[in-house]
Chains A and B, each alone.
Chain A
């Protein structure tokens, strides 16, 4: 069987114009996907380096200054270049218009522009490593006063973050208009896929929260360059205000990271247990509720910063409230699985991994959300464990699930399912080995962002470093399998999973113009009885 080339077929223009200046949403999605994966690999190596340094107490590989630069860089790359754009920019661009039955996003040129901003922002961020006073050493949060006085290259790094934020805003704006304006006839709001709903809620957060981050990082830059004094108490400024502004963005940003992954999981689970999703409307509602309530809880990062007790209590309470919609989603997924006719294909395996790891991260989030317990574990490894469970176990697994779900659609070929499952297993063992000891370390009092530690922490640190090797093995196997299958995998037809959403009615890979005739939608996204088995 000859695999068709679809939108990936070479055209008559030069490669640069065909790809780098493309306005086809699918190609832009592919560009994002591969750039994000490339940055991810860099970030992973930095993470492994951190773990190697922590293998035993004292100096193993790198000194304290380099260590600070390495974890800052690891954080900046992972947050701003990998997880924030990950699913929306890559898979949203690839599949949102297809799921809507549209030709493209609402503003195709703007879409190309946001990709370029992503590239430029990434390049600026990387420039900050090699120029000026050396790589930033503030941590990805750029907290003042340190970030205002350190001689390392913070100004350039925050400029990169500013540009990346702009890219994220434009993607969100584009998606909102696309979802409002470009749905195929018959595609009522209640027939939208849950992935599209999740992107919709995410897009609003991108549009509403990111500008605050932009202005905050601009303020850091002018504080440094012009000696502005906006956060300097000696000149009437207030460093706590920086933290407020920073988290007003960055807390909602964690929902930019997790909501799209939840959308992917909500789309995958019904397909692999052949049942409509349980509680479609509650899932939609909880996405919107997360987007809304998530903007009200930022100060739970600041319980020990010296806010008033009232503020601490209020933000603690609100944090518990925002946990409810996330829990609702987990119940919905589990109820969908209940008595379904489950097909344990790789996308579902990654989906189940997501549910487990996300729950582990979510529950420990409550420990951090209650002011009393947070006092004890604030800025310890407990926090590091928590957010890795959520963003690596959550967003990361959501991303892997998405890759395994849509891979046959993108390339018209199937990967080796056995290898995919082994990789998932290695990752699950690895991630738990890597991050579970961090919970224990944190409870025992090991502070985060330290390059050295007391001898009694050695065993747990070792365990964590072993875990990082399993994680690495899992990632390596997964990526190897995907790259090999892109060229040698068995060809597949339109709809290998017998899914019911619109993208599966197109050839794999889809043609550049998407739909020959505008589709008319007559049923919801999970009506599997309507699926024609054409493979």
Chain B
């Protein structure tokens, strides 16, 4: 009864779930746009304080990892489970790289006194403070999603090893891949909104 397989049902469930994730970030995007509307100049100034090189590097890293995720799915569909696992490992490795860079970015910010509730920024213009509140909230939430994505991918890799995710029934990997693409996609929006606004 429990191992009835409904490929379409599983996909549909995943798409609905992704939709809820988009809405979760959607609430924050609403906050972002309203606040940007109120403080366009301050947002521009605050954005200068972010490190575009690091942001760009991270964007490239995340897009590459998304490519590996897609390759993993194709590999499994073509029957090559070993290769699929290698690609999953690469995806996870790149995700680690993303987090490492993020770590350096954030620690640097903390170091110069920019963090939520910091006394140093208490007498900045409100718009600049709002920028950083939202920056930490949104990239922080995104970071948590990266970690969750890594956990899910590792779990699917294990499923492949024990033969529960196979070339005949690969929907678990496919769904994990979709999740990873979503995480990537959200970053692709966050990057220009925070690093590149003028």
Contacts and interface: CB of A to CB of B under 8 A. Distances in A.
Contacts of A23: 2
A211 B126 contact: no
Contact of A106 (B9, B24, B39, B137): B9
B143 interface: no
Given A103-B1, A214-B24, A236-B39, A228 B17 contact: no
Interface string A397-423: 000000000000000000000000000
Interface string A164-177: 00000100011011
Contacts of A234: 126
B1 A229 contact: no
Interface of chain B: mostly helix, strand, loop or mixed:
helix
A344 B6 CA distance: 44
A245 interface: yes
Contacts of B30: 245
B102 to A, nearest CB: 17
Given A173-B16, A181-B8, A181-B9, A212 B127 contact: no
B27 A235 contact: no
B20 interface: yes
A236 B133 contact: yes
Interface residues of B, number: 41
Residue in B4, B13, B134 with the greatest tally of chain A CB atoms within 10 Å: B13
B130 A230 contact: yes
Nearest to A172: B16
Interface residues of A, number: 42
A211 B129 contact: no
Interface string B133-156: 110110001000000000000000
Interface in B83-108: none
A211 B130 contact: no
B126 A235 contact: yes
A104 interface: yes
B112 interface: no
A379 interface: no
Contacts of B130: 229-230, 235-237
A44 to B, nearest CB: 32
Contacts of B31: 230, 241, 245
Residue in B4, B16, B131, B136 with the greatest tally of chain A CB atoms within 10 Å: B16
Contacts of B42: 236
B106 to A, nearest CB: 13
B117 A226 contact: yes
Contact of B24 (A174, A215, A227, A233): A215
B128 interface: yes
Contact of B117 (A108, A181, A229, A513): A229
B49 to A, nearest CB: 15
Interface of B: 1-2, 4, 6, 8-9, 12-13, 16-17, 19-21, 23-28, 30-31, 34-35, 38-39, 42, 116-117, 122, 125-131, 133-134, 136-137, 141
List the 8 shortest-distance A-B pairs measured between CB atoms, nearest first. Answer: A227-B117, A236-B130, A236-B126, A211-B23, A215-B27, A211-B24, A181-B9, A226-B116
